[in-house]
Amino acid sequence: MENYDAVLAFFKNAEEPANAGKVAAATGLDKKEVNKVMTQLKKEEKIVSPKRCYWEIKR
């Protein structure tokens, strides 16, 4: 759950859409772990994609 919170916090504070690589670099998490968390956030509809491969918090 710690990784989930870190990724969610990143998106809440991000000023622009980001991809998994950018999230991984900013949070220090492994990209595979970031992808797992992002998949969960997508299912929960907490993040949305304004353009291909980039995501942002749902407003």
pLDDT at 52: 95
One-letter identity of residue 4:
Y
pLDDT at 15: 95
Question: Which residue segments constitute the domains of the chain, with CATH numbers given?
Answer: 2-57 (1.10.10.10)
Q: Is the pLDDT of residue 59 over 90?
A: no
Q: What is the pLDDT of residues 1-57, one digit of tens each?
A: 899 999 999 999 999 999 999 999 999 999 999 999 999 999 999 999 999 999 999
Cα–Cα distance for residue pair 24/50, rounded to 1 Å: 19
DSSP-assigned beta bridge partners for residue 18: 55
CB-based contacts of 37, cutoff 8 Å, min separation 6: 3, 4, 7, 8
pLDDT at 32: 97
